[in-house]
Every structure is written in structure tokens, then in C-alpha cells.
Amino acid sequence: MHFAHVTLDPAAVVAPVNRRTFGTFVEHMGRCVYTGLYEPGHPSADEDGFRTDVLALTRELGVTTVRYPGGNFVSGYRWEDGIGPRGRRPRRRDLAWRSIETNEVGIDEFARWAAKADVEIMYAVNLGTRGVQEALDVHEYVNQSAGTYLADLRRANGAEKPYGIRMWCLGNELDGPWQLGHKTADAYGQLASATARALRAAEPGLELIACGSSSSSMPTFGAWEATVLEHTYDLVDYVSCHAYYEEHDGDIGSFLACATDMDHFVDSIVATADSIGARLRSKRKMQLSFDEWNVWYLSRYQNQAQTHDWRVAPRVIEDEYNVVDAVVVGNLLISLLRHSDRVTAACQAQLVNVIAPIRTEPDGPAWRQTIFHPFARTAALARGDVLRTVVDGPTYQTTRYGEAPTVDAVATHDVVTGEVAVFVVNRDEDVPVELTIDLSRFGLVVRTVEASTLSDDDVRATNTVDHQDRVVLRPNRQLSVHASGVQVVLPPVSWTAVRLSVEPTH
């Protein structure tokens, strides 16, 4: 047994928990939209063709914001293809994923789905093959109330009220050579700034997101953000971050520590943004929108011959997640919460089928992948303020990230309800950890406590169509309450949520 200790202090507040931390991403890619959230003719489909089994799982997952419609897809997308009578919508080539886009689902359908799922839309405009005018046009269509050509077209298409979309991504990953319309940082910075000015002229209160690097391994990482922010600092509210992690060559130890890389990523972009802000003598603090993050076995995808040429809704990157992946996803959420003072929006990529917590079969069931569980539990329990959470515990050596803590955790505290939640991982592959959570600084008594843990003797176990609940969260009974706090045993390779309620002694 290893031992670790964490002292929580209700005064050590990092920032409020941002509900937008629990965002997700729906791209017109593979089977995310078609046979994912939309499948007319499916036994569970509603009057709009939306799968109600997927809607129910989306609500259970607790997602708040949904980035739409891409991704790489958006950089070649014509939004107006997806409006008006379905029979007249064009089928188009999607060059990003070499698929056929039928345009059966467009912004009107997606807005209806988002209202049913009770999520906020984060809309990405095409700054790859398009520019300022098209961004203004889609904005007029979705947000102008009435009395202009595109607002009235939306009304004629059945949506009397505007959608009131507040968050707008100015393009997607334009630093990447794979991106349609890939640009230099300078060219993108100029286009993003012109688009931001135009959108703000239309609606000053929008929240705008400039593209940051598509990963920290890009050769232009950091320099890209610096140049883009020099052009846009006082015009945008966020710079985006994207990161995908995977296990390489069976190196579970490094993979389990990849949240340390996310920590470093965030700290680097905060430092870069603040240095531009200082140089421009701006009083604004740039926020980070971590609007693509997840586990993605990208190298497997890159090594495979792509067989989905020019088909509708092919099976693309339908990664099946195991226990280690779920622990990593839980840990990445710990990292995002820890940075809640600067990361104020985030989207796990993606929602259904495509590297997703929810899987479906056409005409068949929908089920929860392993990674569904830490996300849903964190979204449900993280309330109030994020507390600075420093773990005193063992460390281990990793090949990729050097020395890393064996235990990583973050806590939240809701002063209104007295609820405290602690989210914690044990990265050790063999040895359990006894974690002591010291609550003496609260000066209160622990009334109730419960813990649930995701772990398994087989860390490669997955949830499949035939065994949909092979890996779930289970109550952790190795939990005890003491005068000054609680102790919980964390199994090897595990993610745990501890929920406590604290109250005055009298």
C-alpha cells in the first residue's frame, strides 16, 4: 500500500466551477450525426428523426455546451447547404474525411436537437475556404430576430425565434497543413481579426474564440498563439487549445501521466497570452477554450489504409475505450478543473461514435463507453468553487513525462449546499493507495460520505454492444470517516469520486 494525503482549505479558491467545462463536440464526421444523434426510422427516433436513446444518454452525461459543426469538416462547409426543404439540399464531397455529406441535418435541425438536449451551441464558422461575409451571413440567419433577408428565411424555414448563439469559433485548426485553407499565423490573425470586428459590429456581446495550435507538438506551438493574439487580443475572448492522448507501445505509465502534459499545455498558453497582453498594455485576461480534448488512438488511424472514400456516414475513428482510457479521461477533467481560473470552456471530442463516450449501432442500441462514467460523475458532482488541491504522495518515473505524481486530484466545494467533491486518480499499475482527505480547515463535521470508483482487474476491459456495462462505476466501500476527514483506498489504475457533505457541529 502507498499513502497520500491532501488537506483541503475552503479559503483556497481557484475559481468557480464553469459549467462550460463540461462541453462536448458534434462534427459532421463519420457516424456522429448520421446514425449517431440522427436516424429517422430508428425505433427510438422522435418526430424530428433524433434518436431519443442518444438524447437520454446526452442528458445523463451532463454536457452543457456543444461545439458544432466541425472540426476539419467546417473548413470546407457551406452552411446554407443545410437549410430549407430537405429534398433540395445538395449532396457534397467532404474533403476533410473523404465522405459524402447529405446535408439532411443543418443548423435548424441541430438547434432543435440542442434545445431537446438542453445544451448551448458553440458555433464554428468556416475560415478555411470562406471568410467574413459567410460568417456574417450565418450569424444573421441564426441570431437576427426578423426583418432582414436571412432572418426572415430562418423564420420561413420554421424557426420564428433566433437561436441566440453566444459562442463563436473563428475557424478550426488553421495552423494544420491538413486543414482546407491552412494559413500562416499572420494571415489567419488578420482574417480572424476582420471576422471578429464584423461579428462584433453585428452583435457586440458575442464571445469569440480564436484558433490556437491544433496540438502542442506542432512546430509553431506558442509562436502561432503569440502572432494570432497580436492581431486579435482585444477582439476575442478565448484562444482555443486542442489535445488528444493515446497509449504508445504499451507504455501505460506514461499514458496515465498525460494530464501533466495538459497542465503544461495550459500553463504555456496562459504565459504566452499574458505576455502579449502585457506588451499591448491590455487589461483583459485571455481565457482558454479547450474545445477539443480526449483519448484518441490517432496513430492507429494514421497507420490504417482509409477505406471510407466517398460514402455517407462511414465508420471513422470509432475507438473502443478501456479502463485505462477512462482513468485518463477522468484525469484530464481533473486538469481542466484545476485550471478553472483560465480554462473557462472545454469540449470533449466528440459526443457519439467518433472517439466518443456514447456508441450506437444503426437500427440497434446506444450504450456508454468506459469514458462516459468519469465525465458524467464529474459533471454531476463538481459544484461551487474549485479548491487548490495539493497532494502529498509518492511519485513514479515515466518515459515521456519524467517524474510524475502517482496520485492526482482536484476538489470542489459548494458553500451553499456544504457539498465537497474530490476527484482523484491512482496511476500506479500494481499498488493501491490509501488517501487521507483532511477537512479540519473547514471547522465542520462530515455528515455523509460516499465514493465511487472505476477500476478493473482487467485494465483492457471495454464496454461493447454485447457487454454494455462490463465497466461501470462501483461504490467504493474502503472508505472511513475520522474526526478530521476521511480515508479512502484507491485501487491500482483507478479513478474515484468522493462526495462529502459538511455541516456545522451544532
DSSP state of 310: T
Residue 484 Cβ vs ligand AHR, minimum distance, rounded to whole Å: 45
Buried b (16+ CB within 10 A) or exposed e, 69-108: bbbbbbbbbebbbbbeeeeebeebebebbebbbbbbbbbb
| Residue 349 contacts ligand AHR per CB under 6 A | yes
The CA–CA distances, whole Å, from 119 to 56, 58, 68, 112, 169 equal 13, 9, 12, 10, 17
Q: Which is nearer to ligand AHR, 295 or 500 (CB)?
A: 295
- Find the binder of ligand AHR among 80, 173, 385, 428 (CB under 6 A): 173
To the query of whether residue 292 is one of the catalytic residues in this protein, the response is yes
- Catalytic position from the list 292, 419, 429, 434: 292
Q: How many CB atoms lie within 10 A of CB 180?
A: 20
Shortest Å, Cβ 105 to ligand AHR: 17
Strand locations in 369-493, DSSP E? 385-387, 391-392, 395-398, 402-405, 407-414, 419-426, 433-438, 445-454, 474-475, 479-482, 485-490
Contact of 78 with 92, CB cutoff 8 Å: yes
Pairing of strands 385-387, 13-16: antiparallel
Output 234 or 320, the one with its CB closest to ligand AHR.
320
> Among residues 80, 173, 225, 247, which one is catalytic?
173
Helix (H, G, I), strand (E, B) or coil at 228: helix
* Interaction between residue 72 and ligand AHR (CB under 6 A): yes
Instruction: Tell me whether residue 173 or residue 325 sits nearer to ligand AHR (CB atom).
Output: 173
Q: Are 350 and 26 in contact (CB under 8 A)?
A: yes
Residue 173 appears among annotated catalytic residues: yes
Q: Does 322 bind ligand AHR (CB under 6 A)?
A: no
* Contact with ligand AHR (CB under 6 A) among 30, 36, 69, 71: 71
User: In DSSP terms, which residues pair with 293 in a beta bridge?
Assistant: 243, 348
Q: 483: helix, coil or strand?
A: coil
172 binds ligand AHR (CB under 6 A): yes
Select the residue interacting with ligand AHR from 53, 134, 292, 325 (CB under 6 A).
292
Q: Given the rule CB under 6 A, which of 2-10, 64-72, 361-369, 391-399 is the region that contacts ligand AHR? A: 64-72
As given in the structure block, the three cell numbers for residue 197 are 470586428
Q: Residue 245: which residues within 8 A CB-CB, separation 6 or more?
A: 255, 258, 261, 262, 294, 295, 296, 328, 332
Confirm or reject binding of residue 492 to ligand AHR (CB under 6 A).
no
Q: How far is the CB of 417 from ligand AHR (least distance, A)?
A: 36
Q: Which is nearer to ligand AHR, 35 or 412 (CB)?
A: 35
User: Pattern of binders to ligand AHR over 186-225, x per CB under 6 A?
Assistant: ----------------------------x-----------
Cis before 177? omega within 30: no
Nearer to ligand AHR among residue 80 and residue 173 (C-beta)? 173
> Stretches 69-77, 202-210, 260-268, 322-330: which one binds ligand AHR (CB under 6 A)?
69-77
CB atoms within 10 A of CB 271: 10
Please pick, from the candidates 4, 23, 27, 422, the single residue that binds ligand AHR as defined by CB under 6 A.
27
Determine, following the binding rule CB under 6 A, whether residue 291 of this chain makes contact with ligand AHR: no
- Nearer to ligand AHR by Cβ, of 30 and 253: the residue is 30
271 Cβ neighbours under 8 A, 6+ residues apart: none
Among 102, 272, 335, 350, binds ligand AHR (CB under 6 A): 350
* Minimum CB–partner distance for residue 350 and ligand AHR (Å): 6
Q: How many residues bind ligand AHR (CB under 6 A)?
A: 10
Q: Which stretch binds ligand AHR (CB under 6 A): 65-73, 274-282, 395-403, 426-434?
A: 65-73
Contact 295, 329 (CB under 8 A): yes
Select the span of 66-74, 125-133, 307-315, 483-491 touching ligand AHR (CB under 6 A): 66-74
Strands (E), 172-275: 207-210, 238-245
| 196, 211 Cβ separation under 8 angstroms | no
The catalytic site residues sit at 173, 292
Question: Can you give the binding site for ligand AHR, defined by CB under 6 A?
Answer: 27, 70-72, 172-173, 214, 292, 349-350
